[in-house]
Amino acid sequence: MKDKKIETLCLKEERRQRETLNLIPSENYVSRDVLHALGSIFVNKYSEGYPGARYYGGNEVVDTLENLTQERALKLFHLSSKEWSANVQPYSGSPANLAVYAALVPPGGVIMGMELAMGGHLTHGHNVSLTGRIWQQLPYGVDSTTETLDFEKLAAQAREHRPALIVAGYTAYSRIIDFAALREVANSVSAKLLIDLSHVAGLVAGGVYPSPFPHADVVMTTTHKTLRGPRAAIIFSRGEHAKLIDRAVFPGVQGGPHNNQIAAVAVALSEASKPEFKRYAKQVVKNAQVLAQSIIDRGWRVVSGGTDTHLFLIDTMTRGVSGREAERLLGKAGIIVNKNAIPFDMRKPFDPSGIRVGTPALTTRGMKEGEMVLLAGWIDDVLRERKSPAAIRKETLKLAKRFRLP
């Protein structure tokens, strides 16, 4: 690379990723083939519009690429092209959600989404997001005792406020969602149901998490978390919503698609269709469950008592450590996590009461149950035993060097 400053930063970031243990559940490591596609010649082409209906010439190959990616997306989730459509142009999850709302909910309409502090996402109608300014959010949450979805309260809220759209699928919720129950709630108030599958799409593709497609009107997913692709998104919509969704994506909230990104998505979708990906998804959940139980065994409180997925929340304040402090100390030890609010958190978002922990990235590197037990011990050593992060860093570095990046 001629730009030595950027080359140096690339090498520094590669070393950081290689030498640390990444437990952030929304991050993963892509394959060399995904990286190759992302940096491919497709970056040079501008392609406003859709296959067969572009505003620029020279899109014959891009049309083939986009059609192929759509086909792979539908096939991966066992969807019929007669019933479902896949829009693979969204740049990422936030504009994808914005497009769905723009297509299905009039401005000022009510969107029912989980509270941010309970595990929801900014773009599920939170007031600091544009989605909470254009539309009204009807927030719902979890039961204070079980810390799982309270369907009775959710249904009562829906009956009272009659939302146009119910959004499910969360960023910090560790249990399996009853999509059928949500469909019943949506039907009872004539609402549409959007499933934000971003966090568990790879688990659904791998057969270790229930599919939402039989119950949803629209399913949106990012592609960079458990699906192990580039940063991008896909919107799946039933036939009657497809044209509205397409118009909302372009020209509604985006310009020309990032064709190199679509090429990388296509590669990731192909990889996710292989038998080895099913083994990967199964191991992700095993690792998360072993890590959570090992943390519990050391006296820590895990929100809802465990996990069915790739992630869970640790209530660090029960041991007198704030989420921000836990993130900082573990980072010094080479263990990367993110501070996170827990249900009914009384602390501010920038220094909440917990941390969010996940296993997709380390599972990609080949780690299994034994490594999760080691990690739980190191987390406990740093946060409860107050051992020197620098001393633990020597141990985490040894482990990181044993398991290479893809």
Q: Which residues form the catalytic set?
A: 46, 48, 196, 222, 225, 231
Following DSSP, what letter does each residue of 122-182 receive, concatenated? GGGT-TTSTHHHHSEEEEE-B-TTT-SB-HHHHHHHHHHH--SEEEE--SS--S---HHHH
Closest-CA residue to 171 (of 113, 219, 107): 113
> How many Å apart are CA 152 and CA 185, to the nearest integer?
10
251 cis-preceded (ω within 30 degrees of 0): yes
Cα(332)–Cα(323) distance, integer angstroms: 14
Burial (Cβ within 10 Å: 0-12, 13-18, ≥19) of residue 143? middle
Question: CA gyration radius for the chain?
Answer: 21
Is residue 95 a contact partner of residue 253, using CB atoms and an 8 Å limit?
Answer: yes
Distance CA 62, CA 157 (A): 46
Which H or E element spans position 43?
Answer: none
